[in-house]
Structure 1
Amino acid sequence: MDWDARKIDPARRPGRGAASCDVGRFERYGREAVDDGWDLSEELPVMRTVVREERPRSVINYVRSPDLPFDRTVNPYRGCEHGCIYCFARPTHAYLGLSPGLDFETQLIARPDAPEVLARELRAHRYDCAPLSIGSNTDPYQPVERDRGITRACLEVLRDFRHPVAIVTKGTLIERDIDILSDMAAKGLARVGISVTTLDAQLSRRMEPRCPPPARRLAVIQRLTEAGVPVRVMASPLVPALTDPELEAIVTAGAEAGATAASWIMLRLPREVAGLWQDWLAEHYPDRAGRIMGHLRDMHGGEVYSSEWFKRMRGEGPYAQLIGQRFNRVVRALGLDQRQPPLRSDLFRVPPRAGDQLSLF
């Protein structure tokens, strides 16, 4: 089936990243719009965001990836309204029987009990404290957080337990929680990564349609650092032949805003993301599609993506090495190549609850 047959009318998907709503890989049947022959004018509605709720039994997700700097995460939401077309988390929506395409952006799952469940898991006698990541899958400060406040409630739990946390986001709503983050950061318990994929506001709007513009994200870096919260500027993902020419400019802008560290990750296209990404290129940058995909294949042994440990984040080969050399050079020049001190786990303690017997020691 060609791309034009699968795409949703752009008038129905304003401010969305994906162009199609194909079912996930676990579904037995596909969906296809067909002309039924009736000569009736039918105006289909604009696709709106729908939020459903999930009552999880556990919220701490343990990961065993050797190329990640953490081994546990918490995700207050499934799906993400930011609509970043490149998001590697899109395939997780298939586990819910939903499309990694437009469903990922419009059919969101909120987890209102997450703070209560998190506190229960932290109280378990067998729990061994180590830094926890929030935002490693979907953005904890996407627009729905403004009304739901689940991320803030989780932070309040972590603050009360003196538990270390690292947050990754593109959302400006994190500024609302500076009171908690600055208090935790003063104790060595919190740091933040702000993703800046491009400094081109027009490109950002096309590639990550409901994210704050790049200049606004740089302002977030400044506000957090002024409040004493360590911030890493994340040039992630870098898109070969599209955003990688901006690498030095992105890192420099982050440093000027106050970031004390930097990182980069190459564009990753696992499972359904590969098709969604190529559809997006065909719609917005057809003249660059061949060059971009060619570079990606060169970095992954002829495939558009490889999930092999220690290679999936940056690829390999001459082009990936060149990006790495450019990054190392700019962070050295800006003094961002120093290793950040580890978050503290030794301050962890279980706070007493009302009615608990107090310790004599």
Structure 2
Amino acid sequence: MNPSVYFKGRGAQINPNNKFFSNQYVQEHIEGLDEEFLGAEKTQFIPTHPKSIISKSNSPDLRFERSINPYQGCEHGCIYCYARNSHEYWGFSAGLDFERKILVKHNAAQLLEHEFRKSSYQPDLIMLSGNTDCYQPIERKLGITRSLLELMLKYRNPVSIISKNVLMRRDFDLLRELAALNLVSVAVTINSLREEVRQKMEPRTATASARLKLIEGLTGIGVPVMLMMAPIVPGINSDEISDLIRSGADAGAITASYTIVRLNGQIGGIFKDWLYQNYPDRAEKVLHWIEACHGGKINDTDFGRRIKGDGNMAESLQHLFKLSVKKYMNNGVLPPLRRDLFRLPDAGMQLGLF
């Protein structure tokens, strides 16, 4: 790795051309005169004006059908993030642009309340962060996720959260009330206990120890927590499976889940560039092991196989994971959340007008 051209604080080190564009930007001056354009550019926050806020999915791989993403793009900069590809639909690159051009849905709460008040609305679980992290750094300033949680509590709609950011502690007051009504569960993502790996793979995220303390805090206020080891990268963090599950269990997580890295679309080139820069001694082996989990390819889009992989490598990882969950978590499961408490807060007042 050449530190003179490595962009610290960013996961991606390149900005591949958007596949929808016929033209592309390139660096013309080897002296680095447009270095700021390529990587050192500050994060931009771009307001958007969506007409709806709840996304629906029929994927059999997911444990939720409805999700809300207050932000598109993510400043965490996780090199493996599958959401990178979706940034191209907004006219940006899946590489550095994904981390430094964040689309913000300022009207998310208004749109959600509008949905809740529709006569056709059927209460069901809504996942916050189905695509990008709802607690990424800008949330500290904007508070959009908190406004969504306030509505979940106000209308008593079940909500699940997946995040790797300890900013969630700010909202413990709301989460405690939701937990008392059995309306919330949280998945905390940790994919390595080694700080050296975390800094390279997820440059703008909280440390593993801070996330374990987050799990302890959530457990302390009654929120059921799942540990997400996502993704497992063979040869990078695959040796930590057992230790991670034990640490998560000690912190209070009652169950765990995982994914095996898959490098679809532009993520393949972005990840390869990162891998050769950070782990040149094992890059070829890591890529071969990833291919071994996906039928000889680094990507996989088939339902039922893309998340856990297949083949001997994937099966051995799955076996170790299941044994560890059984040993340290006694095969625990997240409790079902209630869907029968949904209400219109002012319904009684409205009826009294007649």
TM-score, structure 2 length as denominator?
Answer: 0.95
Aligned letter for 2:87?
Answer: H
Residues 308, 159 of structure 1: alpha-carbon distance in 2 compared, 3 angstrom cutoff: same
Deviation at 1:44, TM superposition (A): 4.3
Equivalent of 2:339 in 323, 345, 348: 345
Matched, 1:123 2:117: yes
Structure 1 runs, 4 residues or longer, greater than 6 Å off: none
Deviation at 1:338, TM superposition (A): 2.5
Matches for 1:231-246 after TM superposition, within 5 Å: 231-246=225-240
| Per-residue deviation, residues 293-316 of structure 1 (Å, max 9, x unmatched) | 111112211111111001000100
Aligned letter for 1:319?
Answer: M
The 2-side partners of 1:174 and 1:347 are apart by: 24
**Is the CA contact (8 Å cut-off) linking 2:224 and 2:335 kept in structure 1?**
no
| Per-residue deviation, residues 65-96 of structure 1 (Å, max 9, x unmatched) | 01111101000001000000000100011001
Deviation at 1:61, TM superposition (A): 0.2
Aligned letter for 1:348?
Answer: F
Equivalent of 2:58 in 55, 64, 69: 64
**Is the CA contact (8 Å cut-off) linking 1:23 and 1:97 kept in structure 2?**
no
Equivalent of 2:173 in 175, 179, 182: 179
Aligned letter for 1:358?
Answer: L
Aligned letter for 2:325?
Answer: V
Aligned letter for 2:204?
Answer: R
**Is the CA contact (8 Å cut-off) linking 1:22 and 1:31 kept in structure 2?**
no
**Is the CA contact (8 Å cut-off) linking 1:121 and 1:127 kept in structure 2?**
yes
**Is the CA contact (8 Å cut-off) linking 1:194 and 1:217 kept in structure 2?**
yes
The 2-side partners of 1:99 and 1:274 are apart by: 13
**Contiguous gaps of at least 5 residues in structure 2:** none
What is the aligned partner in structure 2 of residue 270 from structure 1? 264
SS of aligned partner of 1:156: helix
| Per-residue deviation, residues 94-150 of structure 1 (Å, max 9, x unmatched) | 001101000000000111100010110121111111111111210011100000100
Matched, 1:357 2:345: no
Residues 109, 356 of structure 1: alpha-carbon distance in 2 compared, 3 angstrom cutoff: farther
Matches for 1:1-361 after TM superposition, within 5 Å: 9-10=5-6, 13-35=7-29, 42=33, 44-45=35-36, 46-352=40-346, 357-358=350-351
Residues 166, 8 of structure 1: alpha-carbon distance in 2 compared, 3 angstrom cutoff: farther
SS of aligned partner of 1:357: helix
**Is the CA contact (8 Å cut-off) linking 1:164 and 1:189 kept in structure 2?**
yes
Segment of structure 1 superposing worse, 132-141 or 336-345:
336-345
The 1-side partners of 2:43 and 2:177 are apart by: 34
Residues 304, 8 of structure 1: alpha-carbon distance in 2 compared, 3 angstrom cutoff: farther
Deviation at 1:246, TM superposition (A): 0.1
SS of aligned partner of 2:350: coil
| Per-residue deviation, residues 130-188 of structure 1 (Å, max 9, x unmatched) | 11111121001110000010000011111111000110000010000011111101111
Aligned letter for 2:24?
Answer: G
Aligned letter for 2:116?
Answer: L
SS of aligned partner of 1:89: helix
**Is the CA contact (8 Å cut-off) linking 1:90 and 1:273 kept in structure 2?**
yes
Residues 149, 41 of structure 1: alpha-carbon distance in 2 compared, 3 angstrom cutoff: closer
SS of aligned partner of 1:181: helix
**Is the CA contact (8 Å cut-off) linking 1:8 and 1:20 kept in structure 2?**
no
Residues 76, 141 of structure 1: alpha-carbon distance in 2 compared, 3 angstrom cutoff: same
**Is the CA contact (8 Å cut-off) linking 1:8 and 1:21 kept in structure 2?**
no
Residues 356, 8 of structure 1: alpha-carbon distance in 2 compared, 3 angstrom cutoff: farther
Aligned letter for 1:203?
Answer: V
Q: Please give the root-mean-square deviation of Cα atoms over the aligned residues, in Å.
A: 2.1
The 2-side partners of 1:117 and 1:306 are apart by: 34
Q: Identity over aligned residues, as a percent?
A: 37
The 1-side partners of 2:70 and 2:91 are apart by: 19
The 2-side partners of 1:240 and 1:178 are apart by: 35
